[in-house]
């Protein structure tokens, strides 16, 4: 069940215009985030929802759904990457060229020299600083992925809620038509004097209640369409529908033991892990500050009284120097920084542990909800079919003169709420799939053979 001309957008794709990792970190990032074959957008494609009509999906809407912290993390990605590059560059020696002009003396003197300076990373300060900066870069990238995951989840949730509202509106209109027929019948009987005012009033009350639901549902549908439009980065307006809610493809059950492995892809867990790595590296940086820094400086060049002789008969000049510098007294600042870095690591460790527990709880809740809602849907479906048969039997008995129309009205008043309940259960089941998708960090791997259509 596929739609033609539909963009297959997976979780490995990013909204247009967002910062991305450069070539040096793409390989590492690909290993940390293996592409998911299943995504909610693929699910919606199979339901004939035309994502390709919304090419700018996510471009204008990221700041709408992301919190201030996430927005800061996303927009600071280029800055974080440059900071990592700057620290990584300190590992290698730096070379400076210094052409010399005439000195203010009685005679002119020219020189051309190269100066190389290098801090020997004996205590690992630069290495740990680079490690901390790289962890900050990866954590920022994971925050960006978290915003994208939230955007896709919010879009899918709103879309399935819209499909449920469509079903509920159709139920309300069907009930309105049925109650209108009942009211007209009792009105005619009352005019002929064969029905009481009580019967007519009850039929009119049922009709009024059904009519009151329709404007509320129509208003809710417009509001939901506007919400989806904002998530798609477009002006508020109608949303094209794909397959109806009851024709949505069924997502296969997650294999036993799979969620724990997929949890490693959750952006919030990856972000918390990198924050812990960065905090650990900053301990090493703070510890290295207790020890002196050794800097080497080398100079090599030529000198001559004439510019034309710099490459010929000029004199060679060179020099090598080393400096050793370290803290003698700073009123405990170095010790305080070291202790603070340890405290920050402890805090990052607790945050990571809490993130893991939260992830496990969310997966467990989503899996439990899927199982229970599937059972509830099966039972409610049986109830709706039985009540539908009851309406048919009551109508047949009335036509044969074996029962009054109150039996038909009573059966209808039981059927339509049951249909609404079934629609709500199906909606909740679809939303449970969305929650599981988000809890697993972007879905799970499927093959086309695993997709089935609901009968």
Give CA 291 to chain center in angstroms: 44
Measured CA to CA, the distance from residue 43 to residue 431 in angstroms comes to 13
Is 222 part of a structural domain of the chain? yes
- pLDDT tens-digit readout, 337-393: 888 889 989 999 999 999 888 888 888 888 888 889 989 999 999 999 999 999 888
What average pLDDT does the structure give for the chain? Answer: 71
Is 257 part of a structural domain of the chain? yes
CB 405 within 8 A of CB 398: yes
> Average pLDDT for residues 130-136, to the nearest whole number?
85
What does the pLDDT read at residue 331? 62
Is 310 part of a structural domain of the chain? no
Is 323 part of a structural domain of the chain? no
DSSP symbol at 248: P
Residue 123 pLDDT exceeds 90: no
**91-95, 406-410, 434-438: the lowest-pLDDT one:** 91-95
Give CA 256 to chain center in angstroms: 24
What does the pLDDT read at residue 319? 64
Report in angstroms the alpha-carbon separations of 57 from 41, 42, 155: 11, 14, 10
What does the pLDDT read at residue 12? 33
- pLDDT tens-digit readout, 15-31: 344 334 444 444 444 44
- Please give the residue range of the domain that contains residue 197: 23-65+124-291+333-453
Residue 145 pLDDT exceeds 60: yes
Is 312 part of a structural domain of the chain? no
36/220: higher pLDDT: 220
Is 112 part of a structural domain of the chain? no
State how many domains the chain has: 1
CATH code of the domain containing 381: 1.20.1600.10
Residue 421 pLDDT exceeds 90: yes
Measured CA to CA, the distance from residue 354 to residue 263 in angstroms comes to 14
């Amino acid at each position: 069940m596929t739609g033609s001309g539909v963009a297959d957008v997976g979780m490995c794709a990013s909204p247009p215009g967002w910062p991305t990792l450069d070539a040096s970190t793409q390989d590492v990032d690909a290993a940390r985030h293996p592409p998911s074959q299943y995504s909610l957008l693929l699910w919606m494609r199979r339901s004939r929802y035309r994502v390709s009509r919304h090419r700018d999906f996510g471009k204008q809407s990221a700041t709408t759904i992301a919190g201030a912290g996430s927005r800061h993390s996303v927009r600071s990605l280029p800055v974080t990457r440059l900071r990592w590059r700057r620290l990584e560059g300190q590992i290698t020696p730096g070379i400076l060229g210094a052409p010399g002009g005439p000195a203010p003396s009685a005679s002119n003197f020219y020189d051309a020299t190269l100066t190389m300076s290098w801090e020997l990373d004996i205590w690992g300060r630069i290495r740990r600083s680079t490690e901390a900066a790289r962890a900050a870069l990866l954590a920022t990238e994971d925050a960006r992925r978290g915003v994208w995951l939230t955007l896709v989840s919010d879009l899918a949730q709103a879309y399935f809620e819209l499909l449920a509202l469509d079903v509920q509106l159709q139920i309300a209109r069907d009930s309105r038509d049925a109650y209108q027929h009942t009211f007209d019948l009792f009105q005619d009987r009352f005019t002929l004097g064969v029905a009481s005012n009580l019967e007519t009033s009850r039929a009119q009350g049922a009709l009024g209640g059904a009519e009151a639901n329709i404007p509320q549902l129509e208003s809710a549908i417009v509001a939901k369409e506007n919400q989806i439009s904002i998530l798609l980065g477009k002006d508020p307006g109608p949303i094209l529908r794909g397959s109806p809610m009851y024709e949505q493809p069924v997502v296969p059950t997650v294999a036993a033991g799979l969620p724990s492995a997929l949890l490693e892809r959750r952006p919030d867990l990856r972000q918390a892990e990198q924050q812990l790595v960065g905090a650990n590296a900053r301990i090493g940086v703070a510890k290295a500050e207790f020890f002196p820094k050794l800097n080497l400086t080398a100079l090599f060049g030529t000198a001559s009284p004439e510019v034309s002789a710099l490459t010929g008969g000029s004199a060679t000049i060179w020099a090598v120097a080393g400096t050793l510098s370290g803290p003698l007294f700073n009123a405990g600042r170095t010790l305080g920084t070291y202790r603070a870095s340890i405290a920050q690591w402890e805090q990052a460790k607790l945050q990571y542990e809490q993130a893991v527990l939260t992830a496990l709880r969310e997966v467990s809740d989503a899996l439990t909800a899927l199982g229970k809602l599937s059972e509830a849907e099966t039972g409610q479906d049986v109830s709706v079919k039985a009540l539908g048969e009851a309406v048919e039997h009551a109508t047949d008995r009335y036509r044969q003169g074996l029962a009054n129309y109150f039996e038909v009205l009573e059966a209808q008043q039981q059927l339509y709420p049951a249909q609404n309940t079934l629609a709500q259960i199906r909606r909740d089941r679809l939303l449970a799939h969305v929650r599981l998708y988000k809890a697993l960090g972007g879905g799970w791997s499927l093959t086309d053979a695993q997709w089935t259509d609901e009968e």
